[in-house]
Structure 1
Amino acid sequence: MSKLKIYFTMLISMVVIASCSKDKFDANAQMAIDEELIKKHIATNNIPATKHTSGLYYQIITPGTGKTISSSSTVYVQYIGKLLSGTTFQEQTGSTVPLNLGTTIQGWQIGIPLIKEGGQIRLIIPSPLAYGKNSPSASIPAKSVLDFTIYVSKVQ
């Protein structure tokens, strides 16, 4: 192998290693940052939320009386998703959307089973339980805390 090839191989390796270290996402550190943001949001808006052991905050608006929800359930939902700034990034109201709960963000998988069919819940989800360092769309920045109000009309 020529010296030039060795040089380029080493250079490319260093670039790859350097770029990987910049992409590290410390979920615990981010959870601490999000915790402070959530506490401030809850206090400012007088939200009677409860903290789950996962770090998720929730408010059961209506507990529901129907079927129990599990991570393998298909839930038919209407929801509004907002950033802590109050900006709505997604709204599905008027008609229900079926979702396999096991394929949704972790915050939904943890929070939605806290109610039953016919229930409504507000979930304030720290970024490690949502999209983390990723930005799923232009309307949801990376490391965003998400605030959902979700109505579950049907469970299968």
Structure 2
Amino acid sequence: MKYALIIFVCTLFVSCNDSEETDYTVKNDLEIQEYIAANNLNAEKSATGLYYVINEEGTGEQPTATSDVTVAYKGYFTDKAVFDQSDAEGISFNLQQVIAGWTEGITYFKEGGNGILLVPSSLGYGSSGRAGIPGGSVLIFEVNLVSVN
């Protein structure tokens, strides 16, 4: 009996391990599709699971995944709660220094282009999240590619 209790307690702790990665793929995809339908968006889905809407493609240079860019953006959840926002001038960074959803998504625009990136957690902050962004969160970004630097 004593050994059965020890095995049960060990199994309980192992099954409650917070360090395990949770796969949100199906949940995120459904959440994104519901958001697209509710907001009447004409979104494309890439092979990685990123959804994107090109409002204006832009006419300038098109960045690659290793480009330095300046982007003005607003980031929010599917409930429209904003978690981050730049000013109109945007912020500059290298596309290798951001979440995978941005590294891929910004390359769909040319300078002057704008649209929406609908990022599943697998291309964002995963199941662990980060400050102010819970693990497994779908992230939506309104982006304006100001320049390719």
TM-score, with normalisation over the residues of structure 2?
A: 0.86
Deviation at 1:106, TM superposition (A): 0.3
Residues 20 and 70 of structure 1, relative CA distance in 2, 3 Å threshold: farther
Deviation at 1:94, TM superposition (A): 2.2
Aligned to 1:148: 141
Secondary structure, counterpart of 1:95 in structure 2: coil
Deviation at 1:141, TM superposition (A): 1.3
Aligned to 1:23: 19
Kept in 1: contact 2:22–2:127 (CA 8 A): no
Deviation at 1:105, TM superposition (A): 0.2
Aligned to 1:61: 55
Kept in 1: contact 2:21–2:128 (CA 8 A): no
> Is structure 2 residue 109 aligned with structure 1 residue 115?
yes
Kept in 2: contact 1:131–1:143 (CA 8 A): yes
Deviation at 1:47, TM superposition (A): 1.2
Query: Pairwise mapping of residues 43-58 of structure 1 onto structure 2 (< 5 A)?
Result: 43-58=37-52
> Is structure 2 residue 97 aligned with structure 1 residue 103?
yes
Query: Pairwise mapping of residues 127-142 of structure 1 onto structure 2 (< 5 A)?
Result: 127-138=121-132, 140-142=133-135
**By percentage of residues, which structure has more helix?**
1
Task: Determine the C-alpha separation between the residues in 2 that align with 1:23 and 1:44.
Answer: 34
Deviation at 1:19, TM superposition (A): 8.0
Task: Determine the C-alpha separation between the residues in 2 that align with 1:95 and 1:20.
Answer: 45
Task: Determine the C-alpha separation between the residues in 2 that align with 1:154 and 1:144.
Answer: 28
After superposition, give the CA deviation of every residue in 1:49-80 in whole Å (9 maximum; x if it has no partner).
11111111100011011112011111111000
Kept in 2: contact 1:60–1:120 (CA 8 A): yes
Alignment gaps of 5+ in structure 2: 1-9
Matched-pair identity in %: 34
Q: Give the number of aligned pairs.
A: 139
Alignment gaps of 5+ in structure 1: 1-13
Deviation at 1:134, TM superposition (A): 2.0
Deviation at 1:21, TM superposition (A): 4.6
Task: Determine the C-alpha separation between the residues in 2 that align with 1:113 and 1:90.
Answer: 21
Root mean square deviation of aligned Cα: 1.9
Task: Determine the C-alpha separation between the residues in 1 that align with 2:126 and 2:61.
Answer: 31
TM-score, with normalisation over the residues of structure 1?
A: 0.82
Structure number with bigger Rg? 1
Deviation at 1:20, TM superposition (A): 8.8
